[in-house]
């Protein structure tokens, strides 16, 4: 009867998905990611043709594959950034279970491609590295467990997350992949610190890591060889580190010129682990500083936006993803300039790769989803809700 007299009430329609996404997403971080991908294609044009020639392939074979994988990564990033934090968490939990099982079966069904570490599944047309997909999903699961432990009567989420971290680190160390193991442990430690861990406990964990490194040095020839090469006062000019060091020195401030670099003809991993050496040689310190600035901008802007976040899960997960993203870039570039031992880790969105690019797209998509602006509510309402 009321509708007959006054008419039907208008149905409130929500804001369309894409305009809402564009209004709330961190456009500066998104722009930096796209620029990094563009730089990766530019460097791929320089670094990958020599490898393609050695393998008897089309000169731009690897560039074309990088465009294809990069396109999938950008699509994955975009779709993930559209999702709500709850949906991201649900999908990440499922992804974590699948990646965890895949990592566990690597010693049985995996391959090393002649590199001395069983890290990949060979699919014939491509390879998959489970640890790349495990990292972002692991961060989400640990953030969920730690946030749950902050609730009154919540589960011992910190202990459970620590058990997961140790299990993953042990599986990675058996490959051996000590670089990814350290990255996983670092990501967990950052989230644990933000969740309120005592500093003495973190110092004790650091000591345990040093002890574990000593044991690995005594029992793993692969690990010992890399540490010895790093600590040696003389760099063998015929090793990858020697080629990379020489290329960085030759590049100077402005570089030797586009296409004029020589390191890409000597380094087998010039398009992946040592792509920064190609950038330093051909474009000089200027491009290296630009790349550093882009990574720093993504991490700093993400952390600044997360500082305003009141949801513990979003704050922890976003912090873990941002810090792991930045530290992976630091490790890759640190290896090239001999600040760190060789780790076999790609430079996110710049290095050639399938698993690393797509997994990086998913990770950054999750980060963009967590750092989108959203109503936070009054802090008093949140506290009253917890008391109830």
**pLDDT tens, residue by residue, 54-81:** 888 888 888 999 999 999 999 999 999 9
Domain that holds residue 229: 24-372
**What's the pLDDT at 235?**
67
Sole residue written with tokens 């902050």: 150
Q: Give the residue, 8 or 96, on which the prediction is more confident.
A: 96
Residue 358, SS3 per DSSP:
helix
**Number of domains composing the chain:** 1
**What's the pLDDT at 3?**
43
Within a domain: 378 = no
Long-range contacts of 124-131 (CB under 8 A, 24+ apart): 126/354, 127/354, 127/355, 128/102, 128/354, 128/355, 129/355, 129/356, 130/99, 130/102, 130/103, 130/106, 131/99, 131/103, 131/172, 131/177, 131/180
User: Predicted confidence band at 376 (pLDDT cuts at 50, 70, 90)?
Assistant: low
User: Predicted confidence band at 236 (pLDDT cuts at 50, 70, 90)?
Assistant: low
**What's the pLDDT at 59?**
85
**What's the pLDDT at 11?**
43
| DSSP letter assigned to residue 265 | G
**What's the pLDDT at 388?**
46
Q: Residue 127 pairs with which residues in a beta bridge? A: 122
Would you say the C-alpha torsion 113, 117, 123, 125 has a positive or negative sign? Answer: negative
**What's the pLDDT at 144?**
95
**What's the pLDDT at 233?**
67
**What's the pLDDT at 165?**
93
| DSSP letter assigned to residue 105 | T
346 touches 355 (CB < 8 A)? no
Within a domain: 325 = yes
User: Predicted confidence band at 7 (pLDDT cuts at 50, 70, 90)?
Assistant: very low
Q: Give the residue, 119 or 237, on which the prediction is more confident.
A: 119
Q: CA dihedral in degrees (222, 224, 225, 226; nearest 10)? A: 90
Using the predicted structure, report yes or no on whether residue 9 has a pLDDT greater than 50: no
pLDDT digits 0-9 by tens, 190-233: 999 888 877 777 788 778 777 877 877 777 776 777 777 666 66
Within a domain: 6 = no
Cβ neighbours for 359, distance < 8 A, ≥ 6 positions apart: 132, 133, 135, 136
Within a domain: 377 = no
Using the predicted structure, report yes or no on whether residue 8 has a pLDDT greater than 70: no
User: Predicted confidence band at 49 (pLDDT cuts at 50, 70, 90)?
Assistant: confident
Within a domain: 381 = no
Is the previous residue joined to 86 through a cis bond, with omega within 30 degrees of 0? no
Percent of the chain whose pLDDT exceeds 90 = 44
Within a domain: 388 = no
> Does the predicted model carry a pTM greater than 0.85?
yes
282 touches 258 (CB < 8 A)? yes
**What's the pLDDT at 238?**
67
Mean pLDDT of the 129-136 span: 93
**What's the pLDDT at 222?**
65
**Token digits for 247?**
């290329």
Q: How far apart are the first and last CA of the chain?
A: 40
Measured CA to CA, the distance from residue 119 to residue 128 in angstroms comes to 8
Q: Give the residue, 42 or 246, on which the prediction is more confident.
A: 42
Q: CA dihedral in degrees (194, 198, 199, 205; nearest 10)? A: -90
Mean pLDDT of the 129-158 span: 91
**Token digits for 43?**
């460097």
Using the predicted structure, report yes or no on whether residue 338 has a pLDDT greater than 60: yes
Residue 340, SS3 per DSSP:
coil
Percent of the chain whose pLDDT exceeds 70 = 89
Within a domain: 18 = no
Cβ neighbours for 152, distance < 8 A, ≥ 6 positions apart: 386
Within a domain: 193 = yes
Give the DSSP H or E segment for 114: none
Using the predicted structure, report yes or no on whether residue 377 has a pLDDT greater than 70: no
**What's the pLDDT at 12?**
44
**What's the pLDDT at 120?**
84
């Amino acid at each position: 009867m009321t509708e007959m007299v006054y008419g039907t009430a208008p149905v409130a329609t929500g804001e369309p998905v894409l305009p809402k996404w564009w209004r709330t997403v961190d456009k500066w971080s998104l722009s930096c990611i796209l620029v990094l991908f563009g730089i990766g294609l530019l460097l791929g044009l320089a670094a990958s043709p020599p490898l393609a020639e050695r393998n008897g392939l089309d000169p731009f074979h690897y560039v074309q594959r990088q465009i294809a994988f990069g396109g999938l990564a950008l699509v994955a990033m975009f779709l993930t950034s559209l999702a709500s934090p709850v949906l991201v968490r649900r999908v990440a939990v499922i992804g974590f279970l699948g990646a965890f099982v895949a990592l566990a079966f690597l010693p049985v069904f995996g391959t090393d491609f002649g590199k001395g570490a069983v890290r990949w599944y060979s699919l014939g047309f491509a390879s998959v590295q489970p640890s790349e997909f495990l990292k972002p999903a692991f961060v989400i699961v640990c953030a969920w467990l730690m946030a749950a432990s902050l609730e009154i009567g919540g589960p011992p989420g910190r202990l459970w997350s620590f058990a997961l971290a140790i299990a993953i680190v042990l599986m990675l160390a058996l490959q051996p992949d000590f670089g990814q193991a350290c990255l996983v442990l670092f990501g967990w430690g950052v989230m644990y610190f933000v969740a309120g861990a005592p500093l003495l406990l973190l110092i004790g964990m650091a000591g345990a890591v040093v002890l574990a490194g000593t044991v690995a040095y005594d029992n793993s020839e692969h690990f010992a060889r890399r540490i010895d090469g790093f600590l040696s006062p003389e760099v063998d000019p015929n090793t990858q580190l020697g080629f990379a060091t020489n290329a960085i020195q030759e590049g100077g401030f402005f570089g030797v010129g586009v296409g004029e670099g020589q390191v890409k003809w000597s380094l087998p991993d010039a398009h992946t682990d040592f792509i920064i050496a190609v950038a330093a040689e051909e474009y000089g310190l200027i491009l290296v500083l630009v790349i550093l600035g882009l990574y720093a901008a993504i991490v700093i802007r993400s952390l600044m936006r997360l500082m305003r976040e009141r949801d513990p899960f979003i704050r922890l997960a976003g912090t873990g993803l941002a810090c792991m993203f930045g530290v992976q870039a630091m490790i890759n570039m640190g290896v090239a300039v001999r600040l760190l031992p060789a780790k076999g880790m790609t430079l996110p969105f710049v290095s050639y790769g399938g698993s690393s690019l797509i997994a990086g797209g998913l990770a950054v998509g999750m980060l963009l989803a967590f750092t989108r602006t959203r109503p936070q509510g009054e802090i008093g309402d949140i506290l009253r809700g917890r008391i109830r």
